[in-house]
A and B are shown apart, each in its own frame.
Chain A
């Protein structure tokens, strides 16, 4: 009996959690008139694909949605690739290369940097990119994410626990540091790298505040920054169109999230436990 009550409660909660998402999808198939009518129908009276068709043709509220989503995917992928490369090299050096100068100083400094609130670096970073003339470029959209220490921290733990014998055997066979990094450590860390990749991509893709301020022209916006612009503009009540846009924006991360949920959970619990 107690089990059934709990389960019923869990189901009700699940419906509440999913409702806004279901409503988003439902509204995206309604025309603006129906979306504004305030009716409670989940299934549209006159279902329409117009919002999506207009969106993909760039005619939806005259904004280049396909360009925005391309920007987001490109910025997310490039940022993730850089994070994976930089973090894995740094973590390898910190965990494995005993003769690395200032090793004992750098690791706590990197880990400590994770405690620094973003508000401290936001404005000066903007001024830095502004001074370099790089505002409204892909460099501004991608590079700042590469300084995050989470990847270094996560991979350091993995690399540090990697058995020494394998590395020593390779060294006796004449392998140098680059070969040990590229041919032994990296292939052994595919799973943790996938975890880091999912976590990083979602973080970059979902960030809207930095791209909102770091871009000035419509065609440089990421989809999340673009949606933030729309939410402030004069289209705030064109719910059918807006929801088609948010469905398009959400689809890539939601697919990645559902496929990679296990990895994603692993990444945040690793960070949480330590």
Chain B
């Protein structure tokens, strides 16, 4: 290799260096360090970190242990949230996108802004706004019910209302994102398809099933996967609105992971839980991807 080409490669490397260092420091090393921590009895405030091998993982899989409870209860609550929220996020996201497309062009932008605006707000701000809206005595929703002579609802403390509240806030906060992606996909369906179908006498429903749905299939898959991942990572809503209650019924997995680390000071077992949670998320998105694309080929 000549000296000048070596120098050229060195200069090229300098361009990638800052990002590569950041990538290693805040992504690659933490992942490896997390695996290391999960093999230890790692306490937050102590310097002695005893190696325990797979012990943390074994406990998570052993019924009756504290970690088993934390993990399975958290996972079950998270799964419930995924099941309640994802279908609505996808279906209503698409419905909202189709509604938006039916609005006359001149004012469409305005409505898009309205529906999308909550997405621009921080999770903590969103939660505080809804703490007020859901307040049993002073909240807007119960005030509305009272004016209709309906008894107040304990939105944030009673089952099944806690789930209704969590799903409602999630829809309000994030559905705009799905809407935007769907609008983009709907606009890319060639207009000729619909015209040809009209000539053949297809009604609106047939056009939707035979043209729209197949055309937006890849985007639909993207939305299903991103919504599932987002719902799996749910935190702000149960953490700040229901505080995991009533009892443990809305304590989601991420809450248990962070509490195990920061309240229980057990970073080792918390890391093992975090790694298992990450694996579950990755496996579920991979399976969804496989199902959707496996059928197509």
Contact = CB atoms under 8 A, between A and B. Distances in A.
Interface string B126-143: 011111110101111011
Contacts of A133: none
A123 B116 contact: no
Interface in A202-222: 202, 205-209, 213
A125 B125 contact: no
A250 B122 CA distance: 8
Nearest to B8: A99
Given A6-B103, A227-B128, A269-B181, A40 B118 contact: no
B139 A99 contact: no
Chain B binding site: helix, strand, loop or mixed by DSSP?
A: helix
Q: How large is the interface on B (under 10, 10 to 19, 20 to 34, 35 or more residues)?
A: 35 or more
Interface in B214-263: 219, 222, 226, 229, 232-233, 235-236, 239-240, 243, 254, 257-258, 261-262
B167 interface: no
Interface string A158-177: 00000000000000000011
Contacts of B61: none
A62 interface: no
A14 interface: yes
B127 A228 contact: yes
A36 interface: yes
A40 B142 CA distance: 10
Given A40-B144, A99-B5, A246-B129, A123 B19 contact: no
B121 A243 contact: no
Given A116-B27, A242-B131, A253-B120, 19 more contacts: A20-B129, A36-B137, A38-B142, A40-B143, A40-B147, A86-B22, A90-B18, A93-B13, A100-B16, A106-B16, A113-B23, A119-B278, A143-B25, A147-B25, A177-B11, A208-B236, A239-B132, A253-B121, A273-B184
Interface of B: 5, 8-9, 11-13, 15-16, 18-20, 22-23, 25-27, 29-31, 33-34, 37, 42, 96, 99-100, 102-104, 111, 113-118, 120-125, 127-133, 135, 137-140, 142-144, 146-147, 172, 177, 180-181, 184, 219, 222, 226, 229, 232-233, 235-236, 239-240, 243, 254, 257-258, 261-262, 267, 270-271, 274-275, 277-278, 281-282, 285
